[in-house]
Structure 1
């Protein structure tokens, strides 16, 4: 036998030994893991340790089993808190002292560089943050309010009767009144009657499938249309359907800015309206191809788009910057407090609801 053959046999033997050792190591590892698992399961069986929590459940479980779970009372209390806040009628007759306090406090928060002057970028940034804060709160509030109202039966739908009963209850009306009241609510304050009428109209717009009941998404469109993707999509389709004269599925500058196809505000001439709409078109036309497509219009209408905050800030500057120095002082803001108190700078919720 030659030396070469001996070396080859030795090399083959070493390789086989190495493979055998690796197999044995893997086998020992798997045996060890199996033993650990068996010991663990033995403890589980002997000590009755649950492998799944019996006390925690998703707050988004709207099924009958979910609402009967152990934390139902906690969810209900949270729902009550948000629902009561949502139904609270805003105090439009707030006294002057309170308005001044709110405006002063907000001015100081928005004045990020602390120089006592509010620049356009500071105001835009503040309004943008208030818009996002409102939209996020609206989503949370919608779930909790829906949960608080969807009780009889709890079927994942809220009927007008359920909502109306809850509305009356939250405004201090007794169970007896709720059960026996007449449809015209004789003796009820006019402000509340008007709120109910507005709610009924909004309900009809939000109900897509069943006019008497709303899903949780439809309920969002009812309470907070500015937060509802379905509402924004509806606005996009309505806008294109109304303005797309050549029916090619996109809007051009002429269609978008035509005063005859749009509602011109009383404080604008048709020419000024056209110029403003052309500016809006150029902002919305992201790829600058002279065509406004659905996805561009959707992003433009979305309240989270920064242009809404910038437009609001420019409007407030126009109303309050009396010396035209491109900054606002607290004195200038207080001189126009009635304008600022209903703006998104102070009350994004009310401002959005007036728009939608």
Structure 2
């Protein structure tokens, strides 16, 4: 079942230059809490576009002419069709989406690496990261700000220490990747859960109750009627999140919520694309079927979060 709550993913502020404390990730790394939009594929694919592009990038495609989108998507189809049989299977879609996810992570690390590797020795020490990220604050700890940089720096150091598997507080590329993208690494799962619970557990009892769970996603702001998805989330909390039915989520239940072990993003997205585009229901996609549904694909991970369509040098 596809759910519709919004993605609670926001960036912490920039402290020095373009550097920033570690980004808060989406709470849930699976199919729910993906977009503010209502999921109504019969009307439009705004939900899918925002779920995988983000609101800003989704707007970019409003200005890309349909024929140009189809042309560029056609080139990508050739890359997805690994066995060159003229069709795209669910497995090929899944493989391509996973590769796109990996590229997204690697591009993120590459983008930040040069900023933090100040001495250019191929490694990033905690001091390098701290000084680049919190330099202005360290120079003037009394500066007027709405952010608690002391706490943010402490949290970053704690995560850095967990990512630093050899304990020298100097990160190689693999360790720095785990620091920036902890949800992708088994040894980082506990810190992801801990950070999530710290953010949502407002009363500090070590659990996430229903009020805290909903409050992390939605505030009424004077609205008379809450959105339909909020009621759906209340039901999800009662029926699926709170597994032992004690009215709150503990650490294990929170782990199952934000990092579900039985859910595969790429597989779910591949199935969705196939369902939406396989007009003759033969279980595979022809080039024509994909291009006929270009509006679905340009908003999915199959195009590397849509960015592949905007890389002029590839087309």
Q: Which TM class, normalised by the smaller chain length? A: 0.3 to 0.5
TM-score for the superposition, normalised by structure 1 = 0.37
Tell me: higher relative CO, structure 1 or 2? Use CA pairs within 8 A at least 6 residues apart. Answer: 2
Q: Structure 1 or 2: larger helix share? A: 1
Point out the structure with max Rg over C-alpha: 1
